[in-house]
Amino acid sequence: MHIMEGFLPFEHAIGWSLASAPFIGWGLLALGKRIRDKPEQRMLIGVAAAFAFVLSALKLPSLSGSSSHPTGTGLGALLFGPVAMAPIGTVVLLFQALLLAHGGLTTLGANVFSMAIVGPLVASMTFRMMRWLHCSFSVSVFCAAALADLFTYLTTSVQLALAFPDSVSGFSGALVKFSSIFAITQIPLAISEGLLSIVIFNALARFNPQELRDMAVLPAKRSGA
Amino acid sequence: MKRHRNALLLLIVVLLAALPLWLVKAPVPTDASPPSDIFTGTDDKARALISQISPDYKPWFTPLLQPASSEIASLLFALQAALGAGFIGYYLGVSLNREKQQRINQQKSGKQSDAD
């Protein structure tokens, strides 16, 4: 998943790690504050992490002939804001990097940036915009989760194209090539992720309507962007 | 109605995952090329593209721990999915129970206020 161990030049690996670090720190502070203020939400934070765990373990075949997996970060971003997903996504990525040789430690910064920062940010912004445009809750959830998934892999393509520009067509040529691998495979998977996110939101709304009303439907106090 | 909708959504997810298995045909192997794989991971494809764009690039770090075989790798993936799904199931079970308990308590207090 994402960029494999050792497959980013040293400077890029350092650069993406430095770019991701402040978000992880900010996210840890935000999560800590939330657990202190609302300890009853601890379980729901666990659910957001568990959802990302399940979805990033599902390697699905795609119409492009290769397989990849969804990311599951959209749900948590809608519940707890995009910043909170930075540390949660990092845990998922660390699990896969350490135990499964999937992703990597040197590429962790870059993978955190695409999956745990850009994806959740896209999810939150999409959701807020669609709710503001009076789209239905389910449609907004679907688009937020699906676009978060897609933008995660587009970011990966950008990262790889920056590191390995094509000798003839440069950055843009490489971007087209990398995104034709990642993004095209990801389109049906993004749709799956959007649908699964609706299902889990339905389940959460069925049992915890008040909690959800407090958190997701009402706009958050602070913008994550 | 809601329950049917969820079942329908899950059905679409299953179809999205299953249809490619029928629709995508494996490339016809030629004598020159080794039998081509289908449904390999996108990372492997990306790695192949990297070595095509810059053939001189050598990965400068290797994973600390490699799953001993693809079986072990699928074991760990299954474990990851099971941990996540287990927790979600646990949470939903707890929520269901709590809701039930609340309803019982409401009924009790309702009866009491009737009695007063």
ipTM: 0.83
Measured in degrees and rounded to the nearest 5, phi and psi for residue B84 equal -65, -50
B21 vs A61: CB contact, 8 Å cut-off? yes
Specify the amino acid at residue A59.
K
**B82 min Cα distance to partner chain A (Å):** 7
**B84 min Cα distance to partner chain A (Å):** 4
Q: Is B34 helix (H, G, I), strand (E, B) or coil?
A: coil
B83 vs A50: CB contact, 8 Å cut-off? yes
Mutate to test the interface with A, among B2, B12, B13 (most CBs of A within 10 A): B13
Segment A138-166, tens digit of pLDDT: 999 999 999 999 999 999 999 999 999 98
- Looking at beta carbons, which residues of chain B come within 8 Å of A57? 77-78, 80-81, 84
SS3 for A49-113, per residue? HHHHHHHHHCCEECCCCEEECCCCHHHHHHHHCHHHHHHHHHHHHHHHHHHHCCCCCCCHHHHHH
Query: Closest to A207 (Cβ–Cβ): which among B10, B64, B95?
Result: B95
Predicted confidence (pLDDT) at residue A84 exceeds the cutoff of 50 = yes
pLDDT of amino acid A172? 93
Let me know the angle formed at the C-alpha of A161 by A159 and A164, rounded to the nearest 5 degrees. 110
What is the pTM for the complete model shown? 0.87
Segment A42-81, tens digit of pLDDT: 999 999 999 999 999 888 888 888 888 899 999 999 999 9
Range list of H helices, chain B: 2-23, 42-53, 70-115
Two structure tokens written together for A181: 């691998």
* Whether B94 contacts chain A with CB within 8 A: yes
Segment B1-29, tens digit of pLDDT: 566 888 999 999 889 888 888 887 766 65
Query: Closest to A208 (Cβ–Cβ): which among B6, B62, B95?
Result: B95
* Whether B16 contacts chain A with CB within 8 A: yes
